[in-house]
Chain A
């Protein structure tokens, strides 16, 4: 079955540590997105990528980095520069970026906690 796989489901980060969240899709989607969700809040866009080897900053990109070396993969690194990283992180994809006929498909999320 096609879908988006995020791993790990839970992640604990020590102060000053970089951590990487994985997002893999086998839907053959061109566009991929990373969102952050704080408790009781909506979605805030961190980064998005419309094609391989290209990505754009979203509304809250500071302290995060991404890469898009393969169509299927869009990993997110939470760097030590992100001072308040505790949140629920959602990865999404869409069939293409020029017409969202079907909307986004979401992964199951990664819950990151600073310890």
Chain B
């Protein structure tokens, strides 16, 4: 069974600081996705990581994927208040499930950035 664990689940930090959110998964997969959710809103796609060693950056956020370690990181540089949100990672179940591909979700990391 594919399991996805995020940590920390809650993070409160000051503006201007750097921090990393971790996403571990239990079995082989080479596709990982990061989403952002603002309170009361839907999910917005941030990054799609499709191969080992993939690194993508958008503004103050950078995501990376190490398929051998079964680990993805979401790094926040010089955090600003606008980045306060809940961040989810999700892993593609392919090829574990023959014809029922779907994303397996982490529990989410609630990030609060204080001015």
Contacts and interface: CB of A to CB of B under 8 A. Distances in A.
B100 A42 contact: no
Interface residues of A, number: 26
A99 interface: yes
Contact of B102 (A45, A99, A101, A108): A45
Interface in A79-115: 88, 90, 92, 97-109, 111
Contacts, number: 60
Contact of A43 (B41, B88, B92): B88
A90 B40 CA distance: 11
Interface centre among A43, A102, A107 (most CB of B within 10 A): A43
B103 A100 contact: yes
A92 B40 CA distance: 16
Interface string B81-115: 00000001010101000011111011110100000
A74 interface: no
Contacts of B35: 103
Contact of B45 (A43, A48, A103): A103
Interface of A: 33, 40-43, 45, 48, 50, 56, 88, 90, 92, 97-109, 111
A56 B92 contact: no
Given A100-B94, A103-B33, A43 B48 contact: no
